[in-house]
Structure 1
């Protein structure tokens, strides 16, 4: 059984598992309100998996690098591995995952990957910190997959919630096709609006995948009370929104990386959204949740 670590401040309390350094719980201490999905394994047994060293699916779950072919399942291996707790303060938790002989069989780069959770007032900050510890250039992607319970509050209905983006958007939706790959072209989705009303039918054909958004912040809000949370993802060029069929949650997924398209080649160095680090270089991105109570 994976060990669970907890921290709290005067407003929030979180719990994080050593497996995948995965956020399990986010509670408003003044009300006892839980914001995270409960991870019901009969529906979807995750809470907030980290996506590393790829985001989404590879064509045939395979990529090519330096003349060799490697196999990686959707979203990579970090979410299934135990992280080592390397720092705990009253309001901060830090977990680390380092490359091993086993990871090098799947992904031929040496790395030090840290997940940092920090509480500040009503806000939880989640930071991905990647360092290339090898002697060659490293190619990688990283992203989040937090699932928030919906409806949040007793007496509400799923359809009584909306996502309000900070900017009016005109972005299309990139359909997900067989094998989790993206279509070659988007279909119309946003039409000069910043409001996305939520309903379970939105996810009948898998996630809503968005590129080129102007917004880097949105608010999930209940119609009746205006309560909910702000979600920010500065520095992440892609955003996914998803729920399992009929499930009582919504995932808001900030990504530095994206699934392959149906017509893609499999060269890792040419993959859309891929990031690079030279030996010794460091990469950091943070998303955050701020409770509106």
Structure 2
């Protein structure tokens, strides 16, 4: 049995619940359509992990509407990452577009909810005067969150309502909770043999490990050999499995020393794609794009 309820504080929040498994997810439409929390019971025999938060959330930033949210699963559109000096040009005009775009900062509208076979909530964001001032394209975004047992499915339906091709990237920025002492014990199953370091702007071989002593890790995996990535946490006794459509061509791993999170982010294109054109989606006028990715948690056997 599945249910969807809502409560008003601090923002109007929708709670998706699988009554049988006890899994829960919370979504806040007005704060960028963000999924803020994902909870579930721990593996059998690990009662200390029952009701544990899978995601990290910086509550202070979340409560301040003037700040971007650091936590949950922010939506990235129409760019992933940042542009040089936060600017780009289109049709001879210069625009300012801040890091990760505007979708994570704007209010979304709930347009559908369903509890048949899953708990599903669909949100919509449409272009408006504010978006057109920084991104001159008319669009409609329909994003669905679907909770079922120990899995979250994220479906995207993107429509270009302009009379010209619409260039964009779309992605997600999940913050997964992990204590600092546990980070070096994480086992990374990322389907790539090379990484690009955003900080040093250099490429290096990847053999499954990262430099956990670094103050910050910010790397991109662009040449993916499969549509699944796994992070195993032996301390919590679970593995996190990320699956994604082929259009998600880039995975970004980010963490900061001293903060209890790591991010594993599926992007359709790398940083600066709006300028370089690398893996940039060009959606024809009137066309729509449908894509999805999923997160699943499994107990270690």
Query: What TM-score comes out, normalization by structure 1 length?
Result: 0.84
Q: CA RMSD in A?
A: 2.4
Tell me the secondary structure at the aligned position of residue 157 of structure 1.
helix
What is the distance in 1 between the residues matched to 2:33 and 2:236? 33
Distance in 2 between residues matched to 1:218 and 1:247, nearest whole Å = 22
Comparing 227-236 with 91-100, greater Cα deviation is found at 227-236
1:2 to 11, 21, 25: 11
CA contact (8 A) 1:232 1:287 kept: yes
2:244 alignment partner in structure 1: 233
Match of 1:107 among 135, 159, 179: 135
- Relative contact order (alpha carbons < 8 A, sep ≥ 6): 1 or 2 greater? 1
| 2:83–2:97 contact (8 Å) kept in structure 1 | yes
Q: Contact 2:151–2:294 (CA<8 Å) still a contact in 1?
A: yes
Say if 1:114 and 1:196 are closer, same or farther in 2 by CA, change over 3 A.
farther
Structure 1 unaligned residues grouped into runs of 5+: 178-182, 262-267
1:175 touches 1:187 (CA, 8 Å); kept in 2? Answer: no
Match of 2:198 among 175, 181, 185: 175
Q: Distance in 1 between matches of 2:90 and 2:292?
A: 28
Q: Deviations over 1:230-261 (max 9, x none)?
A: 11122200010012332111111000122128
Q: 1:29 to 1:7 in 2, by over 3 A?
A: farther
State how far apart, in whole Å, the 2-side matches of 1:79 and 1:13 are.
Answer: 21
Aligned to 2:227: 216
State the alpha-carbon separation in 2 of the partners of residues 200 and 41 from structure 1: 26
The 8 Å contact of residues 174 and 210 in structure 1, kept in 2 or not, is answered as no
State whether residues 146 and 154 of structure 2, in contact with CA within 8 Å, keep that contact through their aligned partners in structure 1: yes
Any gaps of 5 or more consecutive residues in structure 2? 1-9, 43-49, 63-68
Greater mean deviation of Cα atoms: 97-106 or 244-253: 244-253
Equivalent in 190, 204, 209 of residue 188 of structure 1: 204
1:34 partnered with 2:47? no
Contact kept? 2:240, 2:297, Cα under 8 Å: yes
Where 2:225 maps in the other structure, the secondary structure is: coil
Q: TM-score, normalised by structure 2?
A: 0.82
Q: Deviation at 1:40?
A: 4.0
How many residues are paired up? 270
